Amino acid sequence: MMPDFVTILSDKILSDNWGKLHKIEYKHTLPNGQSYTDVREAYDRGNGAVILLYNIAKGTVILTRQLRIPTYVNGNATGMMIEACAGMLDENDPEECIRRETQEETGYTLTDVKKVMEVYMSPGGVTEILYFFIAAYSNAMKTGEGGGLEKEHENIEVLEMPFNKAFNMISTGEIKDAKTIMLLQHARLEGIL
């Protein structure tokens, strides 16, 4: 059993809006026995899931485009981002979540999904673990319009595009979303498309 190298001294909630922003004071004991006390903020918005839909016969992928206010604040002129379909787990397990999100956002009802990895996306300040999936899609799986949920103020555009075009959009800067880049690179490295 590993010794306890971290002791939480205090945990104060600074904000409890969409997620919780914690101010955490902690003591960290180093392997040499020395210790120090520090303070960090950690944003807890829950965990999420993301999926890349691909069609081998057509050589295409399904992505989405939607407004992301933090990118607008940081200089993205329109705030619009091209991304793989994703969502928060809420009370669902990751696979249930991604099936639901895929239906809501893209209109596709999936049969088989494959988990490919789990990733802390920004471990220096955000608690979120993101579960990554891939799934084949076909036209027959299109059972709805997609576009997201009106009650969540989602206005999601569904994009079907050639895989090579999407992959090249990484180097042109048209795709800047880390989770999407990781899934596109995974598909290339695994020879899926």
Residues in the chain: 193
Question: Does 154 appear as a known binding residue?
Answer: yes
Across residues 82-89, what is the average pLDDT?
A: 96
Domains of the chain with bracketed CATH:
6-44 (no CATH), 48-189 (3.90.79.10)
pLDDT tens-place string over residues 140-187? 999 988 877 666 657 899 999 999 999 999 999 999 999 999 999 999
Contacts of 77 (CB under 8 A, 6+ apart): none
Look at residue 37 and tell me whether its pLDDT is greater than 50.
Answer: yes
In contact, 186 and 179? CB cutoff 8 Å = no
In one-letter notation, the amino acid at residue 100 is R
Res 148: pLDDT: 73
